[in-house]
Structure 1
């Protein structure tokens, strides 16, 4: 029998002490699948813009669980019946909601793993753990999938005001130093209630919701969609795509066994087997960084230059515009690169490309943030807020970008 102390306390820089509520959650945190999150960056390559942004998915998962504990206590205090099993289900679901993230959080989803999202991989991990823990995660899985009968519990995991967002906005703001993103998540949680099996925010919490939505908009423009972070993530995706392309042609690339597995195989929703999951569990940021440190000296022009750009933070130039990028501008940069280095257009496309980004702080057509008025009526936040720009925040804003090499490439 294990003699480990299963009532450990984590000292979190955001919330202070976070307690582990029971031995099952302790054992899940101790599991190698969850410990892997210590080696998965929460914000990808954003540390190239904000040097402090080195926190991990491990930090975020524990913080989200802590906020869920607070939410459960608040709702119980307000007379919402929650059984002990339901509480544990909620805590496990939020603890494991990001367990399926790959290296640097999103890079793999757009390069060497196709047609399967990190949410789907998280579910695969949870199902595997459920077998290992004799069905203890069955309720948590039902909540995570949004299938549980009590709708508000599913909203606590995934909605426009869930415990995931309540943690990552505050946490990412802290580690980046972007003060505009600092929300009062505890205040928001204190204002939670349940009406007709749906989450609502009490009227006195309106200003906290307004601050939350404005902060979300700021964080997307200043951090998550920052142009330098954007081009860095695009380069990382292209590194993995080029590596896979070379391996498919029979080129031998030195890298970890886990990374090699995904470069050599076609991984999609259909082919993501139990064996694939086992290999995926061994893959983290260190595999990618280690590979790039080797590949920067590879004889392939594309792979070596892409890796050098990330390793040395000598990135492509990126320009943001309010209108779609003209194809002529793209062709001009592409032709210049082809002529200068005698490479193919296909190879030049790795360095010259365009795209678009969209920021929508509040998706009014999705699950709404409803306010419980003192009169008992329930209205959408945009209908009761006296902030004129809240309706504007519900409209998507799209910007277009073009990336191309600096002169010295």
Structure 2
């Protein structure tokens, strides 16, 4: 078979698959599953175009990584063929552990197991299948490879993951504020003492990148409607688990039933559990909710109906913490209206907080390489005053409650 396929991407145009290992990994059922997992969870309830998948995103990341490798080699950075393949594999598989609806389900399906941990389990499993050809990629992914800039390309403040998702999410949502010039950013990359730096000429592109990230978080990722829909989805699974624990039977696909019936932690993620997890995607959750909206449990049926028909809770976002009295007021009203318990009312009336930090100063920052050879953090190098402000976390508080009738 001809494994040097070309894919047509709406953002970058033609993308070439760099080698046969990448082709075989893309063909694998674990990776094909990403076609059935939306990149932005339930954001399509706000932005109707946001139906793109993790599959799109991972392929886009490989394309940007190819550009980065070529640019760095052109500037005299030695990257062996083995390292090059390692970088492609690591970025291709960096999100393979995402569960249904991406971040919404992160801790709902398994107990406190992050998608990065599951990604690593998938990579180790694939490494066995591909006779150890992913060993270097796993080292880079875990940050154990001595050449630090390679890890920074996978997971840093200016990595290929962010360079793709900001551009892609802005394209599919139609939110122009997030449209960064990822090609220019990559062209400005260099390596000094095995650390990734951006040449001075690229300083404005980096400023735009940080500002775009802030705007995308407030306008898209933390949009109040996406937020309330995501919270409802988390509560659907929580309620389904409760009903199972009380001996109720629910209709759902076999993989979903397995995670509802069992309490799964990272220690329980053996080969069998990983295989079952690999069969889970958005469709399992949607089809389960289509059944459950007619269930006789007041909480489960109402939560599912809200998501299926986009008849969501009202949400208010404030700069100060929500008063307990206002939470109680809504809970009591709901309990009296529907003759339900306080525990049940808490599914429909709740508070929480969201925070946005566009740039993390404490962790490894984005370093600017001046013509003189001096290296300094973007916050110091930039004459844009608000970059320092953008490195402080901003926290907001929200309260959700029914509009009038459930």
TM-score norm. by structure 2 comes to 0.99
**Residues 26-175 of structure 1: matches in 2 within 5 Å?**
26-175=23-172
Indicate conservation of the 8 Å contact 2:320/2:396, yes or no. Answer: yes
The unaligned stretches of length 5 or more in structure 1 are none
Once residues 28 and 270 of structure 1 are traced to their aligned partners in structure 2, the CA distance between those partners, rounded to angstroms, is: 26
Match of 2:399 in 1: 402
Once residues 140 and 109 of structure 1 are traced to their aligned partners in structure 2, the CA distance between those partners, rounded to angstroms, is: 24
Q: Secondary structure at the match of 2:60?
A: helix
Larger mean CA deviation between 109-118 and 33-42 belongs to 109-118
Once residues 206 and 112 of structure 1 are traced to their aligned partners in structure 2, the CA distance between those partners, rounded to angstroms, is: 41
The unaligned stretches of length 5 or more in structure 2 are none
Once residues 48 and 110 of structure 1 are traced to their aligned partners in structure 2, the CA distance between those partners, rounded to angstroms, is: 22
Larger mean CA deviation between 265-274 and 275-284 belongs to 265-274
> How big is the alpha-carbon RMSD for the aligned residues of Structure 1 and Structure 2?
0.6
Match of 1:358 in 2: 355
1:87-135 Cα shifts (integer Å, max 9, x gaps) = 0000000000000000000232232311210000000000000000000
Among residues 215, 230, 237, which one is paired with 2:227 in the alignment? Answer: 230
Match of 1:310 in 2: 307
Once residues 302 and 265 of structure 2 are traced to their aligned partners in structure 1, the CA distance between those partners, rounded to angstroms, is: 28
2:299 counterpart of 1:299: no
**Residues 264-279 of structure 1: matches in 2 within 5 Å?**
264-279=261-276
Q: Which runs of 4+ in 1 moved over 3 A?
A: none
Indicate conservation of the 8 Å contact 1:112/1:244, yes or no. Answer: no
1:260-303 Cα shifts (integer Å, max 9, x gaps) = 00001011111111111000000000000000001000000000
Once residues 10 and 21 of structure 2 are traced to their aligned partners in structure 1, the CA distance between those partners, rounded to angstroms, is: 25
Once residues 20 and 127 of structure 1 are traced to their aligned partners in structure 2, the CA distance between those partners, rounded to angstroms, is: 22
Shift of 1:388: 1.2
Once residues 250 and 19 of structure 1 are traced to their aligned partners in structure 2, the CA distance between those partners, rounded to angstroms, is: 52
Q: Secondary structure at the match of 1:330?
A: helix
Once residues 179 and 39 of structure 1 are traced to their aligned partners in structure 2, the CA distance between those partners, rounded to angstroms, is: 26
Match of 1:187 in 2: 184
Match of 2:336 in 1: 339
Q: Secondary structure at the match of 1:366?
A: coil
Match of 2:374 in 1: 377
Q: Secondary structure at the match of 2:87?
A: helix
1:111-164 Cα shifts (integer Å, max 9, x gaps) = 231121000000000000000000000000000001101000010000000000
2:253 counterpart of 1:256: yes
1:294-353 Cα shifts (integer Å, max 9, x gaps) = 100000000000000000000000000000000100000011111111111111111000
Q: Secondary structure at the match of 1:10?
A: strand
The size of the alignment, in residue pairs, is 406
Once residues 55 and 61 of structure 2 are traced to their aligned partners in structure 1, the CA distance between those partners, rounded to angstroms, is: 10
Once residues 111 and 104 of structure 1 are traced to their aligned partners in structure 2, the CA distance between those partners, rounded to angstroms, is: 11
Once residues 109 and 239 of structure 2 are traced to their aligned partners in structure 1, the CA distance between those partners, rounded to angstroms, is: 10
TM-score norm. by structure 1 comes to 0.99
Shift of 1:406: 1.1
2:278 counterpart of 1:281: yes
1:156-203 Cα shifts (integer Å, max 9, x gaps) = 000000000000000000000000000000000000000011000000
Among residues 323, 333, 340, which one is paired with 1:326 in the alignment? Answer: 323
